[in-house]
Amino acid sequence: MAKPKVSSDWCAGCSGCHMSFLDMDERLLELVNLADIRATPFTDLKHPDEDGVQIGIIEGGINNLTHIEVIKRMRERSKYLVAFGDCAVFGGVPAMRNFFDLQETLRYAYIDTISTDESGKIPNDPEVAVMTRVQAISEVVKVDVFLPGCPPSADAIFYTLSELAKGRMPKLTGDLLNWH
Ligand code: SF4
């Protein structure tokens, strides 16, 4: 029987969750026996073009129009969608900007401070056209599994992915999530 495909993608975050994927160390070999690991930190491929994904993993909150496309595409292609890390689960670090005025923040970033963009304007680009507020993944698409943590522990990642690969819904506990 074909192994279930696992694929991941990024929205707004620091990529720390993806790096914690690699913290599974030798258990990655165990996971490779259970699942067909496609676009993940193994390949460092962003916005993968994979169909028939059993387990889709999204890191980061929704900050711009591109992120909305990313999560909708992953939702359409995946049987199970995992919100991977605090930024995906509730907005996390990127959502700190929700406490500030958006236009003032953009002006500060692109006009009032030194920037690689010397046009003196806020770029008109879907990667920059930030949403009024950073959103959690579940505010836009249905999420099947919430895997919190900044980043989630390697134990929690391994448990979640191996359970899903076996066709079972994970039951995450406080111990696995380091809630002590
Ligand atoms: Fe980075 Fe933490 Fe967000 Fe993960 S949850 S992307 S480690 S800030």
pLDDT in tens, 29-77: 999 899 988 766 555 556 566 677 889 999 999 999 999 999 999 999 8
pTM, 2 dp: 0.89
Question: Which atom number of ligand 1 is nearest to the Cα of residue 93?
Answer: 8
How far, in Å, CA of 127 to CA of 61, rounded?
A: 13
Compute the 3-state secondary structure of the chain and give helix, strand, coil in percent, each to the nearest 5: 35, 20, 45
Q: How far is CA 78 from CA 29, 56, 150, in A?
A: 23, 5, 24
Q: How far is CA 135 from CA 10, 60, 71, 130, in A?
A: 14, 10, 12, 11
Q: How many CB atoms lie within 10 A of CB 172?
A: 18
152 cis-preceded (ω within 30 degrees of 0): no
Q: How far is CA 25 from CA 74, 105, 147, 158, in A?
A: 26, 39, 19, 10
**What top-level class would CATH report for the domain 5-95+132-165?**
alpha beta
1 alpha carbon – ligand 1 mean position (Å): 35
- Examine the pLDDT at 82 and tell me if it is beyond 90: yes
96 alpha carbon – ligand 1 mean position (Å): 13
- Examine the pLDDT at 121 and tell me if it is beyond 90: no
Pocket lining: 106 vs ligand 1, CB cutoff 6 Å: no
Mutate to test the pocket of ligand 1, among 86, 90, 137, 178 (most ligand atoms within 8 A of CB): 86
Pocket lining: 148 vs ligand 1, CB cutoff 6 Å: no
Average pLDDT over residues 16-28: 87
**Of the candidates 78, 82, 76, which has an alpha carbon nearest to the alpha carbon of residue 21?**
82
129 alpha carbon – ligand 1 mean position (Å): 21
